[in-house]
Structure 1
Amino acid sequence: MAPITASSAANRSRDDLEATWAYLQENVEKVMYKLREGVDMKTYMGVYTKVHNFCTSQKPTSTPTSNPVHNASRGAHLLGEEIYTLLGTYLSDHLKKVLVDAETHTDEALLAFYIREWKRYTDAAKYNNHLFKYLNRHWVKREMDEGKKNVYDIYTLHLVKWKDDFFMKVEQRVMQAVLKLVEKQRNGETIDQLQVKAIVDSFVSLGLDENDPTKSTLDVYRRHFETPFLQATKEYYQRESKLFVAENSVVEYMKKAEARLEEERERVGLYLHPDIMKKLTDVCNEALITDHSLLLRDEFQVLLDNERIDDLTRMYKLLSRIKDGLDPLRNRFEAHVRKAGLASVDKVATSGDNFEPKVYVDALLDIHSKYQQLVNIAFTGESEFVRSLDNACKEFVNRNEVCKSNSSRSPELLAKYTDQLLKKGAKAADESELEELLQQIMVVFKYIEDKDVFQKFYSRTLAKRLVHVSSVSDDAEMSMISKLKEACGFEYTNKLQRMFQDIQTSKDLNSSYREWYDKLLQDGGEKRAVDSSYQVLGTGFWPLNAPNTPFTPPTEVNKAVESFRRFYDQKHNGRKLTWLWQLCKGEIRANYVKQQKVPYTFQVSTYQMAVLLLFNEQETLDYAEIKEYTQLNDDILEHQVVGILMKARVLTASPDDGKPVAGTKYTLNTNFKNKKIKVNLNINVKSEQKTEADETHKTVEEDRKLLLQAVIVRIMKGRKRLRHVQLVEEVINQVKNRFPPRIADIKKNIDALMEKDYIERMENDELSYIA
């Protein structure tokens, strides 16, 4: 038998390849053009088997080597490559024909053609991928595993050929058609959105990772669709917005821009790829907002002045979309609120110094409430606008026309208004309303810089309410203290809480005293002089001063006082009681008034009681006699006692000018008349209130000096050595929540501590703590 030569084997292999490919091409052609008609199972299995048999045939096409296994592998390798190459060539030729047909279409017709051909082509690609599965599984996989470039599975090969041989030659024309279609929609025309979506999907499908063909990227989509789409969008809106602004108001333009931005957002969901959202938003923001930001900001003040909430909301939403778009608005808003606040206070100040604290506080709250609502609605409560509001409120609350003569006027008035709310009165608010009013007090309190001034005035008024049992309710008092504690901490309210504890202790003490006194009555040791109660207050917690006048209490009162003193000394040996006569009060019955069936009851201070009880012994008294019996000084006697009794017509004077001097005679008015049976004569005099306010401010200054020195010592004790500038900064940081310290005051107290040998000055402007 004649041997088979290498050349004859190669010829036979080529014959097999040609025959195999002729069969495969015929059926691939059917798949490409007649897939809708279907491929029968016999044909499908025939193609699959042909590919399998050809690729697994052990017919080497090169010179045999000593290694038969290597020869077999090399033969299969070459045969798989031949089919792969022939299929690629076929696809390229096929797409050339498609390209020729594409040249005959434009605009929407071109899109329809592209989409139709893409659908036909990719459906065929999926089917061919199944037909050539064996080639994918073996030869293609082996080539890809070995890192060979430009080898893909059969489906991907179809996409690569589409991209290289068709897409790259028509993509510009296709995109121009897409952009025209989108522009029509932007101009209000109805379009076939599914066409654009199909184009987008096809562009995305063509993205292949060159380093890993099994992975896809968005590179093709971004380069050939996204980039021209964004550029066209930018140009469209720049052109449109420029024309619209020239012919319409700023408010109308904002409505237009708002609508356009919403349209573009919806467009992404309808037919664009989600990846474009941020870039499309940025482009639209630039063309519709950034390019016109100056125009929008110039309109902001007009909208504020006219309280156009809806338009302010619209402007906020637009400018919040661009970088630093809102900063100028926040500055203008802050200036606007500050101006409005100052104007509101000016109206109060024009009425003089006699305005009620409520009027002043309401003026502050009205402005805050108005613009807080605006911030919440128009600016969605954004933190930076809230900060602008806070800065403005802090400014007009602490520096306004009312505060011009006294920088601490705001906390003083706020404390007085709080006192009015928490004190019993005819117009007392109900529980829920009072809680709301107290919450509003805290709104203003937040902006008060001199919180120590408020604390001082508040503690004094609280003390009086507790002593005179005039609080509207203990719950309301504790609610207010709780709010202050939450805002400023435990130390701020410590004394206030201790005052409450003293009142509770006094209640228990009075119960014990009554039991003790009742036992004395039973034993016949004493007779009840007056019905009395007592409050024992700790010196260190109550902001109360000793009486500023000598005083001899009435005999009836003195007996009761001595009785309680004996009881207290038995219970607490060694403690000293100081009687605060200026805070004591009582009720006496006026049995002397003619033609009065039910006697009047006078609510009086102890000083007034002492004077009126003198008339039980004499019908007429000289001023000098009254002074001698009571030992009160002239200022108290004239203004707080005789003056008030004269004004109320309880006493009459001779001569009738009523001037309280020696020689003036006073007589009970037996014809006294009043609509009320219970008449309050214990009234504060305005001059007394002013004196008390001045004393409170002086106390604040002294407390500040002590606080600054304590803080300086505490800092230096911890740090040992510190530069002068650093010490000043730390002191400011530690006390600014109570009051804004002046640098001059800090320096003055540093010098004072040097004189007391707490600290000493070193070199290089350093200070050292002296242990």
Structure 2
Amino acid sequence: MDSSSPPLPAPTDLTATWNFLENGIEHIMNRLEEGLSYKRYMDLYTGIYNYCTSSRMNPGFTSEPLAGPGANLSNNRGANLMGSDLYQNLQRYLERYLHTIRENSTHHMDENLLRYYTKHWEKYTTASSYVHHVFRYLNRHWVKREIDEGRKTVYDVYTLTLVSWRDYMFMHVERHVMAAVLKLIERQRNGESVETGLVKSVVESFVALGLDDADSTKSTLDVYKEHFQKPFVEASEVYYKAESEKFVSENSVTEYMKKAEARLREEENRVKLYLHQSTHKPLISTCETVLVKNHTDIMWDEFQNLLNLDKMDDLNRMYSLLSRITDGLEPLRTRFEEHVRKAGLNAIEKVADQVNDNMEPKIYVDALLEVHSKYNDMVTTAFRGEAGFVASLDKACREFVNRNKVCKASTSKSPELLARFCDSLLRKSSKNPEENDLEDVLNNIMTVFKYVEDKDVFQKFYSKMLAKRLVNGTSASEDAESSMISKLKEACGFEYTSKLQRMFTDMGLSKDLNDQFKERTSMEANEQVDFSVLVLGTASWPLQPSTTNFNIPEELERTFQRFKMFYQNKHSGRKLNWLFHLSKGELKANYCHLSKTGYTFQVSTYQMGILLQYNKDSSYTFDDLKQSTDLNTDVLIGALGTLVKAKVLELSDGTEVGDPTSRYELNTEFKSKKVRIQLNLPVKSEQKVEVEETHKTVEEDRKLLMQAAIVRIMKTRKTLKHTALVTEVIAQLSNRFKPKIPDIKKCIDVLLEKEYIERVEGQKDMFSYRA
């Protein structure tokens, strides 16, 4: 701490005043570590104040007592401020001071130069802040007035010290300093441990020297960008270009990607550690160009190998690198889509024979799901769920789901098999999954359903199978059925599932109706028939009418007529259409000699009609049974064939089922390990016919849907060109099925014929709506 201070000079003596001030400034600039007493600080401040407010230019002025920093100086407003002389002397002092530092810097090189530069920079800026405070009175008055009057070369004292450093120190040594900085950073890139604080200090000085010449109160990054950032980024480009080319020539692509990833991470950290944030964009952009963009070809070429080998980490690394550059990912998305499509086609080809031979939908759906699951995980993990790869996966899946070996004959095969798989899951079976597992499987089904183009085909098959489950009481779980319908509703809207939901409503109404009927008949004696009926709305249920007549057995006639009367009394005007081909029942058989308790036969209504004839006689010819049941030949042959095969009936020697001369005798020696015997088995030929009929129904429905869409569009648009009309029809119906252009043209012709629309005269391919 300085203990003595020279006496204050006369206020009007410039030479004495400056000598006094220079002595103090010299102490601050060179020996600040020794400390500066408050008295010395106040003397310096007062010396400046006294000189600036001296009255040598204004003899009539009477000096007021000396004032310290912050004192009220309102009484001195008339004083002639003499700050220009002090300001110019300070400028010259700083120039001489910095010239000495600059001269001494020539004795240092590389890292030593950086230490010298940063040491003097820190010492200089600390001292400058003290000098700034000492000259505060000058700043508040003379400097402010000069700046207000537009003097561009006058700054507050601290800014003056920075301008001086820039002009007399920085501009002379910056090339040597930057060369040293670049060497230091290169050594660090080469793996050496370096003193990063030196670079950070240099950066801070370059940033601080960015002064706005037009407004000294503002700063810019011009000095930093021009003298640090530009050469640094250029040097980085040269360094990484040489390194990457050498590394690629000596290593594999996967190793290069690891190297590039590490280098980019290092540069990100370098900015955070000791560079200005503004350098981030130009530096990383340059590194991305050199390390990634210049080597895209080798990475694109390697992509297929990584896909083939399922190298998730390397795929993720490639994605991370190529996502940094414009259009870097587009070739990958295209190749990924093609790869997934081929994987899907190959998976289906392996199981196609099993699916076609056994109609096994589970094998087919599992094959689809396995491919989707694998590549969906890849998109999520390796490609981070990026929208472009999600779209590529969806396009590929849509292709192999709708166009594969199993679908060769028809694109409708996928929705049919998917509906069959749903049926196998929702139908009572010992193989049914647990409730929680079932929900997961149903979600997986919806994944495949999303890609199915012919959603109307799925709807038709699903509704037919649901109807069978409900009619036959074979649904495994009402909750599971409701869950699946909710999923379909969410995917395709209310209209898609409205009929399915109506089926469940009808089932509830039928239960109430049965309960009422049983309550009505419970009082009657000798009722030997346990009878229940489902009354279902024709519009909601996809059930075909019977193809044959049928004489109701007299054992059932009484109950049958009683229900008809009960229903007609309850709902007059409604007509009941009986679907005997969907009905079933159980018969108690007490005629078998080899069974003490008898058997229970589970039969179709037609089989029941045949077997009940044997209450009267034990042997009938084919024609006898045809006459008594009134079944047509094909249906009768099918029912008899099952009974003969099960050995409930025996066929006369030398004849075949359906032969008019054949005789069918009741087998009193019938024997079975089971007490309840299922005879109501589906006939494969019937199943095949049903599938064909379903597809035929889909085609008819599509024609109506296309016609309705055309009318709807034309009613809205009034006039429309052929091409635009076709495009709009496809857009409106694509969520249910993909309309074919020739089919749309046929529907347009039908509507022209029906006069819903007409051609516009004089305009080619233009249609108008006829109100």
TM-score range, shorter chain: over 0.9
Q: Is the 8 A contact 1:529 1:559 kept in 2?
A: no
Counterpart-to-counterpart distance in 1, 2:674 and 2:378: 49
Question: Structure 1 residues 672 and 370, CA, compared in 2 at 3 Å: closer, same or farther?
Answer: farther
Alignment partner of 2:649 out of 643, 651, 666: 651
Q: Is the 8 A contact 2:416 2:458 kept in 1?
A: yes
2:489 matched to which residue of 1?
485
Question: Structure 1 residues 248 and 301, CA, compared in 2 at 3 Å: closer, same or farther?
Answer: same
Deviation of residue 676 (structure 1)? 2.8
Deviation of residue 75 (structure 1)? 7.6
Deviation of residue 210 (structure 1)? 2.1
1:345 aligns with 2:348: yes
1:209 aligns with 2:212: yes
2:565 matched to which residue of 1?
566
Deviation of residue 205 (structure 1)? 0.9
Q: Is the 8 A contact 2:652 2:662 kept in 1?
A: yes
Counterpart-to-counterpart distance in 1, 2:130 and 2:547: 110
2:271 matched to which residue of 1?
268
1:3 matched to which residue of 2?
none
Counterpart-to-counterpart distance in 2, 1:349 and 1:254: 40
1:769 matched to which residue of 2?
769
2:668 matched to which residue of 1?
670
Q: Deviations over 1:415-434 (max 9, x none)?
A: 11111111111212221111
Alignment length, in residue pairs? Answer: 746
User: Which runs of structure 2 are paired with 1:4-43 in the superposition (5 Å)?
Assistant: 16-43=13-40
Deviation of residue 597 (structure 1)? 3.5
- Of residues 691-700 and 255-264 in structure 1, the stretch that sits farther from structure 2 once superposed is 255-264
1:596 is paired with a residue of what secondary structure?
Answer: coil
Alignment partner of 2:745 out of 744, 747, 755: 747
Alignment partner of 2:131 out of 124, 128, 131: 128
1:213 is paired with a residue of what secondary structure?
Answer: coil
User: Which runs of structure 2 are paired with 1:434-583 in the superposition (5 Å)?
Assistant: 434-519=438-523, 521=524, 527-583=526-582
- Of residues 253-262 and 561-570 in structure 1, the stretch that sits farther from structure 2 once superposed is 253-262
Question: Structure 1 residues 598 and 720, CA, compared in 2 at 3 Å: closer, same or farther?
Answer: same
Which letter maps to 2:55?
Answer: Q
Q: Deviations over 1:540-573 (max 9, x none)?
A: 1111111011111211222221111010011001
Alignment partner of 1:102 out of 86, 102, 105: 105
Deviation of residue 295 (structure 1)? 0.5
1:709 aligns with 2:707: yes
Counterpart-to-counterpart distance in 2, 1:192 and 1:614: 108
Which blocks of at least 5 consecutive residues in structure 2 are unaligned?
Answer: 1-8, 62-75
2:610 matched to which residue of 1?
611
Question: Structure 1 residues 619 and 47, CA, compared in 2 at 3 Å: closer, same or farther?
Answer: same
Moved over 6 A (4+): 12-15, 72-75
1:729 aligns with 2:732: no
Which letter maps to 1:90?
Answer: Y
Query: Normalization by structure 1: what TM-score?
Result: 0.94
2:4 matched to which residue of 1?
none
Q: Is the 8 A contact 1:297 1:328 kept in 2?
A: yes
User: Which runs of structure 2 are paired with 1:90-239 in the superposition (5 Å)?
Assistant: 90-239=93-242
Q: Is the 8 A contact 1:13 1:61 kept in 2?
A: no
Deviation of residue 13 (structure 1)? 10
Deviation of residue 719 (structure 1)? 2.0
Deviation of residue 15 (structure 1)? 7.0
1:255 aligns with 2:297: no
1:684 matched to which residue of 2?
682
- Of residues 649-658 and 264-273 in structure 1, the stretch that sits farther from structure 2 once superposed is 649-658
Deviation of residue 61 (structure 1)? 8.8
Which letter maps to 1:691?
Answer: V
1:722 is paired with a residue of what secondary structure?
Answer: strand
Deviation of residue 74 (structure 1)? 9.8
Q: Deviations over 1:480-516 (max 9, x none)?
A: 1111100000111111111111111101111111111
Counterpart-to-counterpart distance in 1, 2:360 and 2:112: 81
Q: Is the 8 A contact 2:759 2:766 kept in 1?
A: yes
2:302 matched to which residue of 1?
299
1:81 aligns with 2:97: no
1:615 is paired with a residue of what secondary structure?
Answer: helix
2:71 matched to which residue of 1?
none
Q: Is the 8 A contact 1:348 1:355 kept in 2?
A: no
2:68 matched to which residue of 1?
none
- Of residues 657-666 and 434-443 in structure 1, the stretch that sits farther from structure 2 once superposed is 657-666
1:123 is paired with a residue of what secondary structure?
Answer: helix
Query: Normalization by structure 2: what TM-score?
Result: 0.94
Kindly, what percent of the aligned residue pairs are identical?
A: 55
Alignment partner of 2:401 out of 389, 394, 397: 397
Question: Structure 1 residues 675 and 272, CA, compared in 2 at 3 Å: closer, same or farther?
Answer: farther
| Cα RMSD (Å) | 1.9
1:285 matched to which residue of 2?
288
Deviation of residue 413 (structure 1)? 0.8
Which blocks of at least 5 consecutive residues in structure 1 are unaligned?
Answer: 1-11, 65-71
Question: Structure 1 residues 597 and 232, CA, compared in 2 at 3 Å: closer, same or farther?
Answer: farther
Q: Is the 8 A contact 2:229 2:279 kept in 1?
A: yes
1:588 is paired with a residue of what secondary structure?
Answer: strand
Counterpart-to-counterpart distance in 1, 2:129 and 2:714: 83
Q: Deviations over 1:44-80 (max 9, x none)?
A: 1111001001001122299x9xxxxxxx989834x20
Deviation of residue 233 (structure 1)? 1.1
Counterpart-to-counterpart distance in 2, 1:322 and 1:670: 86
Q: Is the 8 A contact 2:11 2:17 kept in 1?
A: no
2:768 is paired with a residue of what secondary structure?
Answer: strand
